[in-house]
Amino acid sequence: MNRTLVVTGTGTEIGKTYITAAVARQLRGRGETVLATKPVSSGCDEDAQGRLWSPDGRVLLDACGQDPDDWAAHQRLCLERLREPMSPHMAADRAGRILSLQMLTGYCQGLEGETDGCVIAEGVGGVMVPLTDSTTFLDWMAALQWPALLVTGTYLGTLSHTLTALQSLKGAGVPLAGLVLNRSPEEPVPAEETRRTLRFFHPELPMAVVPRAEGTGEEAGMPDLVETFGIGRGE
């Protein structure tokens, strides 16, 4: 069992927040406490007081049973909030800032030390989104050494995207918790066939297929992600 987890993806809009929220809810359902952090957010919303809110941060606070409108909690769990909806290194540059790999790694380690519960950190976009002009989120995951859960889709093209991302994570020495195949709206190849193919290449990797929740907001058919990927304190 691991009480820390990074959730990364093969790209943006792939379902990282959706899966992170589902894991947080499942952990709480098991009586575990959980902190879900979005260390860096771009594409944030500015309110009337000029405060920048991370849309992902709101979803994650809610999934952890906290008030999504609690500004103090938001600031604590969404360290870097950037306005422009683009790569963080570009959004930071437009805000006159430079992100720091060391600071973000230390920030996550600090959260881990503040709680004896679980801590889940959602990355930004895909595995190698730039953090600065010389570092990417892959460097952050390699420095942090928290098990990484890769979220991918089941669209045409996902096989290469997924195998490339896994190769990058393994090559950087990032421990892998597993792979979530988050079913895509367009799925020309049956998800099970995609899963089977990926298993040929990664027979040891825990995998789960997550269905699309159509409109109801219910996570119907959501697999037990906590069990599948060994997340939590397991007490």
Ligand X SMILES: Nc1ncnc2c1ncn2[C@@H]1O[C@H](COP(=O)(O)OP(=O)(O)OP(=O)(O)O)[C@@H](O)[C@H]1O
Asked whether position 56 contacts ligand X by CB under 6 A, the answer is yes
**Which of 38, 58, 81, 161 is the catalytic position?**
38
Nearest-angstrom CA–CA distance, 124 and 135 = 13
**38 is known as an active-site residue:** yes
Could you say which of 7, 111, 129, 143 contacts ligand DNN (CB under 6 A)? 129
For residues 208-227, which are near ligand DNN according to CB under 6 A? none
Axis crossing angle, helix 101-114 with helix 137-144, rounded to the nearest 10: 40
Could you say which of 56, 80, 112, 139 contacts Mg ion (CB under 5 A)? 56
C-alpha of 37 from chain center:
9
How many CA atoms within 13 Å lie on the side-chain side of 103?
Answer: 9
121's contact among ligand DNN, ligand X, Mg ion, none, with CB below 5 to 8 A by partner kind, is: none
Q: Closest distance between ligand X and the C-beta of residue 16, in Å? A: 4
DSSP 44: P
25's contact among ligand DNN, ligand X, Mg ion, none, with CB below 5 to 8 A by partner kind, is: none
Q: Which residues contact 228 (CB under 8 A, 6 or more apart)?
A: 178, 206, 207, 208
Nearest-angstrom CA–CA distance, 227 and 212 = 20
Stretch that binds ligand DNN, among 19-27, 29-37, 60-68, 122-130 (CB under 6 A): 122-130
C-alpha of 211 from chain center:
18
- In one letter, which amino acid is 185? P
Q: Count the neighbouring beta carbons within 10 Å of the beta carbon of residue 134.
A: 9
Site string for ligand X, 163-182 (x = CB under 6 A): -------------------x
11 marked ligand binding residue:
no
158 marked ligand binding residue:
no
Asked whether position 59 contacts ligand DNN by CB under 6 A, the answer is no
Catalytic site positions:
38
Question: Which residues belong to the annotated binding site?
Answer: 13-18, 42, 56, 122-125, 182-183
